[in-house]
Structure 1
Amino acid sequence: MQIPSLVVTGSLNMDFVVQVDRLPAPGETTLGGNFQMIPGGKGANQACAAGKLATNGRVRMVGCVGLDPFADHLKASLAAAGVDVSTVRAARQTPTGVALIWVEKSGQNSIVVAPGANAMLAPGDIESAHAAYEGARCALFQLETPLEAVAAAMRAGHKAGALTILDPAPARRLPAELLALVDILTPNESEACILLDRVPTRVTFAEAPEIARALRALGPKAVVLKLGDQGCFYSDDQRELAVQGFTVEVVDTTAAGDTFNAGLAVALAEGFEIPTALRFANAAAALSVTRLGAQASAPSREEVDAFIARSDG
C-alpha cells in the first residue's frame, strides 16, 4: 500500500441536483429546471478535490458505500481524480447514501441527506483500515458519518502523527475529548455559532477573533473560520490573520466548503506556510462556486495556480 500524503475519512453520496428559480417554501410544489446525478458526500467531495489539487496524487479515502450502481459510480469518480479507494468498504445491508439538492439562481442551495451506508461506518472499519493513516501528513474529517467512527479515525490519524483537520459539518455540539484531537478546526459561520451554542449569524472580520478564540478554548489547537466570499480568518496560540477571498460570479455554492478544506489540507501536506495555504484554499473554493455540482466543480491544480497568478498580476 502506497503511503498517502493525505487521508480523508467520511461520507460518500450520490447527489440528485435540481436547478430552481427559488427554493420552495414548506408544503410548496414548484417546477424545477435542469436535473443531474452528481457524485457527492462531504468526505468524497473533499477527497476528490484533494486528488485534483495534489501534485503527488497520494490521496486515500476511508468510508462506506452499499452494493449498488451508485457505489460503483462514486468510487469510479474518486479513482478518476487519482484517489485510492481500496479502503472504502461495501455494506450489504443498506444502500449507498444519497443527497437531494435544490440550487437556485443565486447559487444558494437546500440539501437533504439520506446517509444510507455512511451510517454503517464503524470504529471496527477504522481499525481494519489503520494502515491507511500511517505516514500520512494530513488527515481530513467531517461529520456525515457516526461520531464514534469519526473519533476512532481521528485517534488513528493523531497516533500516526498526521495533522488532523476537522470540518464540523453538518453542525453539532462536539465532545471535548474529540476536539482535543483536532489540530485545525474549520467551521463556517453557522457551524462556529452552533459549536459555541450561539444563534447562527453572519460573522465579520471584526468579530472573527473573539469567535475563533472561543472555539480554540473548546480544545482545537487552531481554528480557521470560513467566511464565505469574505475569505477566512486563522487563529492559533501564536498568531491571527485574515485572508481575503476572491470575487467571482457564483453559480453553485454546494461544495465550496469541501473544496476549501481539500485545498487547505493539500497545501499543508505539501509544506505551504499557513498564509499561503489559506490563500490557496480560498482560490480553490472561489473557482468551485463558478460551476454546478459538488465533485464536478472542484478545480485542478493547474487552474488554481493560474487563477492565483492572474489575481497577483
Structure 2
Amino acid sequence: MGDQASNANPTGRVTVVRSLNMDLVARAPRLPKPGETLAGHAFAQVPGGKGGNQAVAAARLGAQVAMIGCIGDDSNGGILKAALEHEGIDCAALIVVDDASQNAIVIVAGSNAEVSPASIDAQDALIACADVIVCQLETPPQTVRAALAAGRRLQRTTILNPAPAATKLPVDWFPLIDYLIPNEIEAATLSGVPIATVDDARRAAEMLKAKGARNVIVTLGAQGVFALLDGAGGKHMPAPKSNAIDTAAAGDTFIGGFAAELARGAAVTDAIAFGQRAAAIAVTREGAQPFIPHRGEVAV
C-alpha cells in the first residue's frame, strides 16, 4: 500500500450512503463443488461492504469522505468504524444499532437494514456540503431513493452503483441519477440486454439512459468501460494493462477513484481514466479493502 501522507490535502467532498460488512475470507486451492467439503489454507476477517470499500477508495484517492449509515453494537462494528476512522473518513453520521444477539452475518445485514430514510433526512447538512453522493443497493431501497432525491434537491452530483443488481430499478429513480455505474452483469440485468461485447454495452447503456439517467458508465472488467455521457455520445475506454490476480475490489476502487476525481473538479473522461488506473493497481493485489491504492501510487 502507498504512503497515506500522499493524501494529506484532499480536495473535493464525497458522501457515501453506505453498507458495511465484515468479510470472512477463506483461501482454498479452488472453489468447492456443491456438497463438497474442501480444506482451506488461510482465513481472515477483513472490513468490507461495497459502501465501505468505495469510501476507503475515495479517501485514499484524494477526497474528503463522510459516511451515512449504521453499524452493529458488537466487536465487528467497532472494527469497521475504526478502519474508516483510520482512513480519515468522517463517521459522525454512523448510527450504532444493537444486534449483539445475532450471529455475525445477521449483525451486518441487520445494521445495514437500519439505514432508513429518516437517517438521510437527518443529514441534510452533510449531503449539502458534499460535491458527490455515492449510493449502492446494499441498503434498503427507500433509503437509496431518499439519498438520491436529497442529492438532486440540494443540487449535488449523484452516483448509483446498482449492486447487487435488482431485476429493475423503479422508473422514478432514473431522473435522480447523474452517473449510473453498473458492471456488465448488472447492466444486463437492468436493461435485459445480454452483454458480451462493447457494442452490447452500448445498447444496454442507451436503454438505461433513455429511462432518464444523465450518464451511464458500464464497467467491463478487462475490456475497460463504455461511457454514454450527457451531450458527448458513447465512448469505449480500454482498461490499462495489468497482471490481475484478484478482482475483488476493482469495481469499488474504480467508483471511489471516479468519485474522488469528479469531486475535485476533473472532467468526466479524466475521472473515468483515473478510476481505471486505480483499479488496475488494485487487481494486482490479493485482497480487497486493505489493498486499495493511495493517490500517490496512481499516475495523475
TM-score where L is the length of structure 2: 0.90
Alpha carbons of 1:248 and 1:98: their partners in 2 closer, same or farther (altered >3 Å)?
farther
Residue of structure 2 in register with 1:22 after alignment: 30
Q: Which amino acid aligns with 1:13?
A: N
Contact 2:20 2:108 in 1 (8 A): no
Alpha carbons of 1:265 and 1:22: their partners in 2 closer, same or farther (altered >3 Å)?
same
Match among 6, 16, 19 for residue 11 of structure 1: 19
* 1:142-221 superposed matches below 5 A: 142-172=136-166, 173-198=168-193, 201-221=194-214
Residue of structure 2 in register with 1:235 after alignment: 228
SS in 1 for 2:128: coil
Q: Is 1:33 matched with 2:41?
A: yes
* 1:269-280 superposed matches below 5 A: 269-280=263-274
Task: Return the alpha-carbon distance in structure 1 between the equivalents of residues 192 and 114 of structure 2.
Answer: 29
Residue of structure 2 in register with 1:67 after alignment: 73
Alpha carbons of 1:95 and 1:270: their partners in 2 closer, same or farther (altered >3 Å)?
farther
Task: Return the alpha-carbon distance in structure 1 between the equivalents of residues 41 and 110 of structure 2.
Answer: 27
Structure 1 residue 202 displacement after superposition = 4.4
Contact 1:15 1:98 in 2 (8 A): no
Q: Which amino acid aligns with 2:97?
A: A
Contact 2:74 2:100 in 1 (8 A): no
Alpha carbons of 1:97 and 1:180: their partners in 2 closer, same or farther (altered >3 Å)?
farther
Structure 1 residue 266 displacement after superposition = 0.6
Alpha carbons of 1:72 and 1:192: their partners in 2 closer, same or farther (altered >3 Å)?
same
SS in 2 for 1:133: helix
Structure 1 residue 95 displacement after superposition = 7.2
* 1:45-84 superposed matches below 5 A: 45-54=53-62, 57-84=63-90
Structure 1 residue 197 displacement after superposition = 3.0
Task: Return the alpha-carbon distance in structure 2 between the equivalents of residues 250 and 116 of structure 1.
Answer: 34
Deviations 1:142-168 (A, max 9, x none): 000100111111111222211100000
Q: Which amino acid aligns with 1:225?
A: V
Task: Return the alpha-carbon distance in structure 1 between the equivalents of residues 145 and 127 of structure 2.
Answer: 14
Alpha carbons of 1:154 and 1:95: their partners in 2 closer, same or farther (altered >3 Å)?
farther
Structure 1 range deviating more: 62-71 or 232-241: 232-241
SS in 1 for 2:196: coil
Deviations 1:75-114 (A, max 9, x none): 1111111110110111124679967xxxxxxxxxxxx996
Q: Report the identity percentage.
A: 40
Deviations 1:260-297 (A, max 9, x none): 11111111111111221111011111111111222112
If asked which structure has higher relative contact order (CA below 8 Å, sep 6+), I would say 2
Residue of structure 2 in register with 1:107 after alignment: none
Task: Return the alpha-carbon distance in structure 1 between the equivalents of residues 103 and 139 of structure 2.
Answer: 11
TM-score where L is the length of structure 1: 0.87
Give aligned pairs, total.
288
Structure 1 residue 211 displacement after superposition = 1.6
Structure 1 residue 5 displacement after superposition = 1.0
Structure 1 residue 236 displacement after superposition = 2.5
